[in-house]
Chains A and B, each alone.
Chain A
Amino acid sequence: MFTKVNSKVVKVNVGQVGGVVARAGAMLFYTGQVAFAPHQIPGAGQFGGMGGIVRLAGRMMQGEHERTMLAQGNGEVHYGYAGLDVHTVDIAQGAVLRVEASRLLANTAGLQSSVVSVASSGGSGGGGVMGMLRGAASGALTGQGMFTTQLSGQGSAVLLAHGGVIEMQVGGPSPVVVDPQAFVAAYGNVQTELKTALSWRDAVGRGSGEAMQLHCVGQGIVFVQASEEKL
């Protein structure tokens, strides 16, 4: 699994975890025999075939695509990206990690990655057109778009954040409320819903600056960064 070397670098034994998918260009250095190949393009590794190109096109349309590479072989690889802080998450069988593609540094190749609609994770947003609109609005504000990447299966992933990451337990009597720009990822069975706390003060430009809030309910963990910088 991934081990943190310092606040900005992780290392992983590629052979032990059976391959690692990571952002293109995120490798810092490695020892041993490791080969890097573009991920999810035709002809590369076992993910070949025309399915790859169709999936890629679909992902690009959804705005949930970062160029990734697959590392395979025997050796230890160190990863880091643009001097951003890293945070490791172990994913247990049956749980899901929902994270924006631009905030995902790496994950073990055994995890299934899919793109899901943010609207479907909205709790009381309801279905139909209103649910979709709500999803779109919250997506636009969190910088996530309408879709987000979902990882499931058993494995490990690394998140990227500006400033350190704190983990907050979701599941108590009251919801966890997060600034949409500080939101990094959610693990477990967590529903996120955007709420507005607008008042007449916002209309005249004297608002508190915290009019948009992300309410997280359910069971799990939300990851929050100590900054309001989008990635």
Chain B
Amino acid sequence: MSQVLNPMTLPNDDNVPDNHYAFCINLVSPWFIRKGTMIAYYGQIDFRALTHGLHGGLLHMVAQQFSAPMYFGDYTVAEGQGKLIIGDRGYDINSYDLDDGNLTIRAANLLAFEPGLSMNQSIVPGFVTLLGTGKFLASSNGPVIFVEPPARVDPEALVGWADCPAPSHHYDHGWVTNMIAAGAARFGVNTGEERQFDFTGAGTILVQSSEKVLSDSAVIRTIETQLHGLTMTGLQHLNGVINSQLASQQHR
């Protein structure tokens, strides 16, 4: 029979024994925690929203370290003393230490981070960049695979990258070489791999097995913020594109 855990036997900042899917934080100073990932805790821990009710040191900390207004509603500050257990969709959870480093990660895969790190919105939609020194927790579907550039990565499989330059898009349309294939391509024949992220330079790329359900709320909010100031024709065009996409998804 497996061991019954208590505050004494729970690990400090490590995976729960024999379980890749749960992680125990030994909370002594405040952490930023993604909403909905707390599954259990021991001790005295308060969860505070970032948007209101903060004052004093905490407010200062949030103002200093959290420069991604789009994600204000997604995170809380956990403060107090105790053991906090984190889980996310049955995904594998790992902790990473940054030492005056920079790492960009898919927002849906970032679960928690220490305030020694500052969180900034990345240029790439749906991703955030962590700068500074401290620990953070990330989830992945299956174990994370570490890859060295140069490599090309499927956008859905990308968890994040560290130290190397931000990726550029690579489009693979090489197969459309003759008339018939071009016709087929116009009618929606494709490989599903036309768009890849092209990484170059020195650094590390983090890759997972494809996401089961991609949480695209961050991408949607990014698009939303870009909508202001579009022309009438532009909006109508977008409306048409969205409608045809909707129709093809219902058809499937």
Q: Are B209 and A8 in contact (CB under 8 A)?
A: yes
- Given that A5-B145, A7-B142, A37-B174 are contacting pairs, would A25 and B193 also be in contact in the complex, using a CB cutoff of 8 Å? yes
Closest to B181 in A: A43
In this complex, the interface size class of chain A, counting residues with CB under 8 Å from chain B, is: 20 to 34
Interfacial residues of chain A within 16-48, with CB under 8 A of chain B in the complex? 24-31, 35-38, 41-45, 48
Q: Are B190 and A29 in contact (CB under 8 A)?
A: no
In the assembled complex, A69 has its CB within 8 A of some CB on chain B: yes
Contacts of B152 in A (CB 8 A): 29-31
Neighbour of A36 across the interface among B175, B177, B207, CB < 8 A: B175
In the assembled complex, B235 has its CB within 8 A of some CB on chain A: no
A-B contact pairs, 13 of them (CB 8 A): A6-B209, A9-B209, A28-B154, A29-B154, A29-B157, A35-B175, A36-B193, A38-B175, A41-B181, A42-B181, A78-B145, A80-B210, A82-B210
In the assembled complex, B40 has its CB within 8 A of some CB on chain A: no
Q: Are B142 and A27 in contact (CB under 8 A)?
A: no
- Given that A36-B193, A80-B210 are contacting pairs, would A31 and B151 also be in contact in the complex, using a CB cutoff of 8 Å? yes
CB distance from A127 to the nearest CB of B (A): 37
Q: Are B212 and A38 in contact (CB under 8 A)?
A: no
Q: Are A8 and B154 in contact (CB under 8 A)?
A: no
Contacts of A67 in B (CB 8 A): 192
10 A-B pairs besides A30-B151, A41-B184 with CB distance below 8 A are A25-B156, A25-B192, A27-B154, A27-B193, A28-B145, A28-B153, A31-B147, A37-B174, A37-B191, A38-B190
Complex CA distance for A69 and B181, rounded to whole angstroms: 14
In the assembled complex, B178 has its CB within 8 A of some CB on chain A: yes
- Given that A24-B190, A28-B209 are contacting pairs, would A8 and B141 also be in contact in the complex, using a CB cutoff of 8 Å? yes
Interfacial residues of chain B within 167-215, with CB under 8 A of chain A in the complex? 172, 174-175, 177-181, 184, 189-193, 196, 205, 207-212
Complex CA distance for A37 and B181, rounded to whole angstroms: 10
In this complex, the interface size class of chain B, counting residues with CB under 8 Å from chain A, is: 35 or more
Complex CA distance for A127 and B141, rounded to whole angstroms: 46
- Given that A6-B145, A24-B191 are contacting pairs, would A38 and B184 also be in contact in the complex, using a CB cutoff of 8 Å? yes
In the assembled complex, A83 has its CB within 8 A of some CB on chain B: yes
CB distance from B143 to the nearest CB of A (A): 5
Q: Are B189 and A29 in contact (CB under 8 A)?
A: no
CB distance from B146 to the nearest CB of A (A): 11
Can you list, as one digit per residue, whether each of A1-13 has a CB less than 8 Å from chain B (1) or not (0)?
A: 0000111110000
Closest to B194 in A: A36
Q: Are A29 and B207 in contact (CB under 8 A)?
A: yes
Q: Are B150 and A42 in contact (CB under 8 A)?
A: no
CB distance from B21 to the nearest CB of A (A): 13
Q: Are B151 and A83 in contact (CB under 8 A)?
A: no
Complex CA distance for A8 and B20, rounded to whole angstroms: 15
Q: Are A42 and B193 in contact (CB under 8 A)?
A: no
Complex CA distance for A48 and B177, rounded to whole angstroms: 12
Complex CA distance for A81 and B100, rounded to whole angstroms: 35
CB distance from B194 to the nearest CB of A (A): 8
Contacts of A26 in B (CB 8 A): 192, 210
Q: Are B151 and A35 in contact (CB under 8 A)?
A: no
Complex CA distance for A25 and B194, rounded to whole angstroms: 9
Q: Are A45 and B175 in contact (CB under 8 A)?
A: yes
Complex CA distance for A8 and B208, rounded to whole angstroms: 9
Neighbour of A9 across the interface among B145, B153, B174, B177, CB < 8 A: B145
Q: Are B207 and A83 in contact (CB under 8 A)?
A: no
